[in-house]
Structure 1
Amino acid sequence: MTRLAQIDGFDRKLLAIVQHDADTPTDILAERVGLSASAVLRRLKRLKADGVILANVATVDPLRVGKPTFFVVALEIERERPELLGRLRQWLNADAHVQEVFYVTGSADFILIVAAPDVESYDALMSRLIADNPNVRRFTTNVALGVGKRSLAIPIDL
């Protein structure tokens, strides 16, 4: 089980800022949180080492790179045996089009966010998913007509 990291108010302020702009210069971060630049660097290094900060990534504008279509997919599975779930999770994690995977309660077992260049590519992906994972009972798809907000930022209580 993952342990909670020991983070204080300074760490929380840093996390709130870098989630929205990881390129914020250290001197600006130091000024905003009330620490020295070297203290900020040490804290960021510790937060990465502790697994609080998983990655520094760039958010890409989908309209400028080919305008993918976003699909929200609800998967239902036959059996929830650990080895079958593990294989499905590995398959989903290995495909670059599958952006997010949520194991959920309710009528679906998984909710996926998929970005594909077009409907044909999405259909081919789902055909491979069903062929490679016979434990998938069925899936339903919602096509995003527009994107009002995209974010992976976790709200941080300050």
Structure 2
Amino acid sequence: MTLTDGSSTGVESLDRIDRKILAALQTDGRITNLDLADKVGLSPTATAERVKRLTRDGFILGYAAQLDPVKLGRGLLVFVEIKLDRMTPEVFSTFAAAVTRAPAVLECHMIAGGFDYLVKARVGNMDEYRSFLSDVLMTLPGVRETHTYPVMEEVKNTVHLPL
């Protein structure tokens, strides 16, 4: 995307150094600026300025710790297909507002295809999931039908984007 001042905020605006910075920060968001500068071959000042620009331009959205769901009592990962009873803007917006308030829901995506939404949630065990299904998911506005897929093994789980 090109802005009115001629600058670019899309992927085409990233050079090799920007990509190295983003890759390093994806791997270790707590890396010091000095270590990051050393890793990408720039001065600490130039590196800090690039990180500020990448943040300002929206390439870096934030930083977070990765937590162990099993140790925190959220060992069961489930995906749930949700079909709504009707397709209106009001139902979509009330459903979206309600699902964002459900703490067990990690992700919710509107899907094109045989169902309307795909929900990714973490709960402690199957008993907790049954409660979550009846007390949360089935009470969401417009929900007609659900299909649940409990995860038996996480083969790949990453938030790292290819650069």
Q: What letter matches 2:87 in structure 1?
A: E
Structure 1 pair 22–89 and aligned structure 2 pair: CA distance change class (3 A): same
1:121 corresponds to: 128
Residue from 6, 13, 28 that aligns with 2:20:
13
* Aligned residues with identical type, % of pairs: 27
- Unmatched 5+ residue regions in structure 2? none
Contact kept, 8 Å, 2:76 with 2:125, in 1: the verdict is yes
Contact kept, 8 Å, 2:25 with 2:31, in 1: the verdict is yes
1:105 corresponds to: 112
2:87 corresponds to: 80
Determine the C-alpha separation between the residues in 2 that align with 1:90 and 1:50: 27
Deviation at 1:126, TM superposition (A): 2.0
- Secondary structure at the aligned position of 1:35 is classed as coil
**Greater CA radius of gyration, 1 or 2?**
2
Q: Deviations over 1:50-93 (max 9, x none)?
A: 33222201111223323520001111112232221111112222
Normalising by structure 2, we get a TM-score of: 0.82
Q: What CA RMSD, in Å, does the superposition of the two structures yield over aligned residues?
A: 2.0
Q: Deviations over 1:93-118 (max 9, x none)?
A: 22221111122122121111100112
- Unmatched 5+ residue regions in structure 1? none
Q: What letter matches 1:14 in structure 2?
A: I
Q: 5 Å matches for 1:115-154?
A: 115-127=122-134, 128-133=136-141, 135-154=142-161
Normalising by structure 1, we get a TM-score of: 0.85
Aligned residues: 153
Q: What letter matches 1:21 in structure 2?
A: D
Q: Where has structure 1 moved over 3 Å in runs of 4 or more?
A: none
Q: What letter matches 1:125 in structure 2?
A: F
- Secondary structure at the aligned position of 2:83 is classed as strand
